[in-house]
Amino acid sequence: MKSRTIHVDYLARVEGEGALSVKIKDQQVTDVKLKIFEPPRFFEAFLRGRKFYEAPDITARICGICPIAYQMSACHAIEDACGIKITGPIRELRRLLYCGEWIESHALHVYLLHAPDFLGYEDAIRMAKDHPDEVKRGLRLKKAGNEIVRLLGGREIHPINVRVGGFYKVPEKRAFSELAEELKWARDAALETVRWVATFVFPEFERDYEFVALRHPDEYPFNEGRLVSNQGLDISVREYDQHFVEEHVAYSNALQSRLKERGPYFVGPQARYSLNFDKLSPVAQEAARSAGLGPVSRNPFQSIVVRSVELVYACDEALRIIEHFEMPDQPTASVEPRVSTGYGCTEAPRGILHHRYRLDDRGLIVDAKIVPPTSQNLKTIEGDLWQFVQTHLVIQKEKLQWQCEQAVRNYDPCISCATHFLKLHLERE
């Protein structure tokens, strides 16, 4: 009997701390574990007893990379509980803010975390010595996203201007037009990004995933829509708990989600793209086609191309919003709490982020549930590793290990987000 193990103690270039182990016996993969050991963070418990309007700011602290996603899902869930719907310029500004976060997050992942895998560098620092212009382009692109978040969010880090009902303050119209100049550069740079990553070599690999994303009749999804999949799911956000369940696994601090009826599913850029290609702007669709992508993308190693197409879309959409923007009469709608449960689901850079809050008659949060995208992808990542290793056993060990790590990074996992709500079962260790 011949056994071998691929073991990565500390996964580099992912947000948070995780480890990976794959066991192989007699040419068969016998076990795959993606372990997450960042200390759990008790945000759901922390929310209990807080005022309804505190949810966006408290949950924004969960992740330094995607605070806007947490603010948006929290706002929508609380507004749902209170029975109001935000429309008009405030809704547009929320989309603009989300564009900023996608640009920041995708630029960081494409250039500094994922590209080194394809070009054969251990990290972006070594890559920068040979590819300084690309790295500089990535940094400037990311900064363009930061500028949107700074303008609308009040500051780049832990933005403070978002509130249930809208914003504390809406910037002057002039500030938006200044932003537009840099965004025009950013859109060109994003198109250049698509052309660049399309030249990478992608391992041959496809699975028949169940993609899950929001879908909206009029737009590529950020804040609103129905939850749909390519295997027949079509539900309102309020029906989430009826269809999805989270399970604890002994070896990890993170819960793993699955569809009750069918098991693992896939969220994030490739799911959004494959379910909403027709809603991308013409320039983003054209960029995808030129990069050789069809309207559905099933090779997870090509997620870097899809992420780059979404960079194009986010810049393009931001410019569209700025061009047509009219100042709102009020920066916020008034929101009165009531005894109710509210649901919110928005498209974080890494995929759907689900929030649920139950409020009492004083407007206090009685119960909160937060399901980040990474915990929804964990089972799918393990499934990819299982199949990838099984079909690539002939590759020498170092290269196989490298590609396993790359396979994890395909999902841009944010391990700090995935663990924030977990209970630690030390007795099972």
Partner 1 sequence: MTLAPPNVVVIGVGNEYRRDDGAGIAVARRLHERFPSKVTVLEESGEGAALINSWKGATWVLLVDAVRSGVPAGTIHRLDVRAATVPAGFFHYSTHAFSVAEAIELARSLDQLPRNLIVYGIEGGIFDAGTGLSSEVETAVEELVERAAEEVRKALKVDVGN
CB of 283 to partner 1, least distance (A): 25
Query: From the DSSP assignment, how many helices (H) and strands (E) are in the chain?
Result: 15, 13
Residue 123 found at the interface with partner 1 (CB under 8 A): yes
> How many angstroms separate the Cα of 419 from the Cα of each of 9, 16, 136, 266, 415?
18, 9, 32, 18, 6
Cα 49 to Cα 52: distance, rounded to the nearest angstrom:
9
Name which of 16 and 363 has its Cβ closer to partner 1: 16
Out of 6, 24, 35, 38, the only residue in the binding site for partner 1 (CB under 8 A) is 38
Query: Which residues within the stretch 247-306 sit at the binding site for partner 1 (CB under 8 A)?
Result: none
- The residue written with tokens 């429309």 in the block is 87
- Listed ranges 88-96, 120-128, 255-263, 340-348: which one lies at the site for partner 1 (CB under 8 A): 120-128
Residue 12 found at the interface with partner 1 (CB under 8 A): yes
List phi, psi (to 5°) of 367: -155, 140
Residue 36 found at the interface with partner 1 (CB under 8 A): no
List phi, psi (to 5°) of 39: -55, 135
Query: Which residues within the stretch 405-424 sit at the binding site for partner 1 (CB under 8 A)?
Result: 415-416
Residue 352 found at the interface with partner 1 (CB under 8 A): no
CB of 248 to partner 1, least distance (A): 20
234 SS3 class: strand
Structure tokens at 425: 């079962």
Cα 301 to Cα 116: distance, rounded to the nearest angstrom:
13
Structure tokens at 7: 């073991």
In terms of Cβ atoms closer than 10 Å to its own Cβ (0-12, 13-18, 19+), residue 398 is exposed
Residue 8 found at the interface with partner 1 (CB under 8 A): no
Count Cα neighbours of 87 within 13 Å in the Cβ-side half-sphere.
2
Residue 61 found at the interface with partner 1 (CB under 8 A): yes
CB of 224 to partner 1, least distance (A): 28
Residue 16 found at the interface with partner 1 (CB under 8 A): yes
Structure tokens at 137: 């382009």
Name which of 126 and 195 has its Cβ closer to partner 1: 126
72 SS3 class: helix
Out of 91, 143, 238, 298, the only residue in the binding site for partner 1 (CB under 8 A) is 143
- Listed ranges 26-34, 124-132, 230-238, 316-324: which one lies at the site for partner 1 (CB under 8 A): 124-132
**x/- binding map, residues 64-93, to partner 1, per CB under 8 A?**
xx----------------------------
210 SS3 class: coil
Rg, Å, the chain Cα set: 21
Residue 139 found at the interface with partner 1 (CB under 8 A): yes
Out of 42, 188, 236, 247, the only residue in the binding site for partner 1 (CB under 8 A) is 42
Residue 39 found at the interface with partner 1 (CB under 8 A): yes
Query: Which residues within the stretch 152-171 sit at the binding site for partner 1 (CB under 8 A)?
Result: 156-158
Q: How far apart are the first and last CA of the chain?
A: 28
CB of 153 to partner 1, least distance (A): 13
- Listed ranges 29-37, 105-113, 228-236, 319-327: which one lies at the site for partner 1 (CB under 8 A): 105-113
Total residues at the site for partner 1 (CB under 8 A)?
38
Name which of 13 and 356 has its Cβ closer to partner 1: 13
Cα 244 to Cα 264: distance, rounded to the nearest angstrom:
10
CB of 403 to partner 1, least distance (A): 19
Amino acid letter, residue 100? G
CB atoms within 10 A of CB 331: 18
**Helices 397-409 and 373-391, axial angle in degrees (round to 10):** 150
- The residue written with tokens 């028949």 in the block is 208
Name which of 32 and 63 has its Cβ closer to partner 1: 63
**Residue ranges binding partner 1 (CB under 8 A):** 12-17, 38-39, 41-43, 46, 61, 64-65, 107-108, 112-113, 123-126, 128-129, 132, 135-136, 138-139, 142-143, 146, 156-158, 415-416
